[in-house]
Chain A
Amino acid sequence: MTKISPQFAEDLKQYGEDTALECFNCGTCVAICPLIDGSFPRKLIRYVQIGAKDRILLNRNELWKCLHCGLCSESCPRGADPGGILLSLKRYAVASWRKS
């Protein structure tokens, strides 16, 4: 069972990013990402939207596959910033393990 926190996208602002709710999951970021890896990074952005914090932390290593190259953010038709969202999630994950 996954616990969801609908306010998570709001909470993530303290780590720098506030565009997760702009994303409508079109998949442009997945298509253009140089990783060519399943549904990366869209899946993680969806987790932010529904507030699946546990899943993000459970799969935290995936965050560091992101090269921070910025191609997804350059191409996003919604003006969301997938690269920035992943960077914020990295900060969130680092803060989480340092707190624990």
Chain B
Amino acid sequence: MFDPKDIIENIADNVRVTHNPFGLNKEGFNTWWKEVDVPATGDALLFTGLMYQLVPYIKAATGYLEKYEDKPMAKYLKYGKFIPKTVANMGLQKIASQDEKLKTATTLGNMVKILKASDVSFFYDHDLDEYSGVLLYDLGDQEGFENHARFVAKKLQSAGIKKLITVDPHTTYALKVLYPKITGISFEVQTWFEVADLAGKAEHGEITLHDPCFYGRYLEVSDAPRAALNKAGVNCTEINNNGSFTNCCGGPAESVSPKLADEVGLRRVAELQATGKPIVALCPICMVNLEKCGADVVDLSSVLVDAI
């Protein structure tokens, strides 16, 4: 395990300076929309919270963390925040996989296709799309999270945003539950699969859904992806630990202990694989960790998009 202090202070510094946990230049990693025909006007802002876009960097960084966990080199991690952000940015851009960046663009592009086919009035503005800061909340840096939340909420409020469509559970929880309490600014927040309305015939007939903890327990929206799947002609083969009693994928431990994340993730993968059906995830963090633990996982958007 890494010293959480080293990890947290690095992430907190990155969020403070660049508004994202990796210290990246947003223009360099939030590029998916350039290849997608996404509406520029509409009622609700598609607010990705940049989580899917960070997947290539999460994977790359985790690979390095795995190498150094519990090794003498781990103690040098605390000096990471002294590396100039431009240098760290260039390094991360170099090690992040191009295939993963394309996968991210495809996943978000599929969500756009589904929303359009569902006649949802929405738009995307890359300038308004920001990281929610939720990792700081999870890690216990409440001060850092609150400062960042105020920055994001005020930015959205100044742009006149009232409605948000979110794409991952962590951002959804932050915007729907935490922001109103902390910033006093509320938005009408719905996930993309709650507003999706596709009646068709998807390619997958039967799947097993991995409920993310934040959708299953904290937000209690586990029925919504099942309803969307059923409407698209897809049945869910259920496992015991689902919905509000879903089991964690292990992903949240990734930054402080990849070993621990693997240990928890392997147990969850065994539960999911027991049905023998394709495994479907609806959270980028779950996706990363379940895949790392050997599961063949697809995103919910890639299943539903077939029904168009």
In the assembly, what is the distance between CA of A87 and CA of B253, in Å? 14
A34, A64, A68: which contacts B267 (Cβ < 8 A)?
A34
Across the interface, which residues of A come within 8 angstroms of B245, CB to CB? 71, 74-75
Would B260 and A69 count as touching, CB distance under 8 A? Answer: no
Would A65 and B260 count as touching, CB distance under 8 A? Answer: yes
Would A34 and B264 count as touching, CB distance under 8 A? Answer: yes
What mask results when residues 28 to 45 of chain A are scored 1 for a CB within 8 Å of chain B, else 0? 000000110000000000
In the assembly, what is the distance between CA of A69 and CA of B252, in Å? 8
What mask results when residues 43 to 73 of chain A are scored 1 for a CB within 8 Å of chain B, else 0? 0000000000000000011011101111100
B257 within 8 Å of A (CB atoms): yes
Contact A67:B252 (CB < 8 A) given known A90-B140, A93-B140, A94-B141: yes
Taking residues whose C-beta sits less than 8 angstroms from the other chain, chain B's interface range is 20 to 34
The A-B contact count (CB < 8 A) is 72
A15 within 8 Å of B (CB atoms): yes
Binds A, one of B1-9, B42-50, B119-127, B232-240: B1-9
A15, A34, A60, A70: which contacts B4 (Cβ < 8 A)?
A60
Across the interface, which residues of A come within 8 angstroms of B250, CB to CB? 34, 67
Would A65 and B142 count as touching, CB distance under 8 A? Answer: no
**Which chain B residue shows the least CB distance to A88?**
B140
In the assembly, what is the distance between CA of A71 and CA of B218, in Å? 10
Across the interface, which residues of A come within 8 angstroms of B5, CB to CB? 97
Would A64 and B4 count as touching, CB distance under 8 A? Answer: yes
Taking residues whose C-beta sits less than 8 angstroms from the other chain, chain A's interface range is 20 to 34
Contact A61:B248 (CB < 8 A) given known A70-B213, A74-B217, A93-B140: no
A64, A71, A89, A90: which contacts B248 (Cβ < 8 A)?
A71
B256 within 8 Å of A (CB atoms): yes
Tell me the dominant secondary structure on chain A's binding face.
helix
**Which chain B residue shows the least CB distance to A92?**
B140
Across the interface, which residues of B come within 8 angstroms of A6, CB to CB? none
Contact A70:B139 (CB < 8 A) given known A35-B260, A65-B253: no
In the assembly, what is the distance between CA of A35 and CA of B4, in Å? 17
Across the interface, which residues of B come within 8 angstroms of A16, CB to CB? 142
In the assembly, what is the distance between CA of A87 and CA of B256, in Å? 15
Across the interface, which residues of A come within 8 angstroms of B172, CB to CB? none
Contact A68:B142 (CB < 8 A) given known A34-B267, A35-B264, A61-B3: no
**Which chain A residue shows the least CB distance to B218?**
A70
Would B141 and A64 count as touching, CB distance under 8 A? Answer: no
**Which chain B residue shows the least CB distance to A15?**
B142
Would A70 and B142 count as touching, CB distance under 8 A? Answer: no
Would A61 and B1 count as touching, CB distance under 8 A? Answer: yes
Would A61 and B247 count as touching, CB distance under 8 A? Answer: no
B212-268 interface with A by 8 A CB criterion: 213, 217-218, 244-248, 250, 252-253, 256-257, 260, 263-264, 267-268
A13 within 8 Å of B (CB atoms): no
In the assembly, what is the distance between CA of A94 and CA of B4, in Å? 9
Report the minimum CB–CB distance from A13 to chain B (whole Å): 13
Report the minimum CB–CB distance from B270 to chain A (whole Å): 12
Contact A68:B217 (CB < 8 A) given known A90-B140, A91-B142: no
What mask results when residues 1 to 36 of chain B are scored 1 for a CB within 8 Å of chain A, else 0? 101110010000000000000000000000000000
**Which chain A residue shows the least CB distance to B261?**
A67
A–B Cβ pairs within 8 angstroms, 11 of them: A34-B264, A35-B263, A64-B253, A64-B257, A65-B253, A67-B252, A69-B213, A69-B217, A69-B248, A70-B213, A71-B217
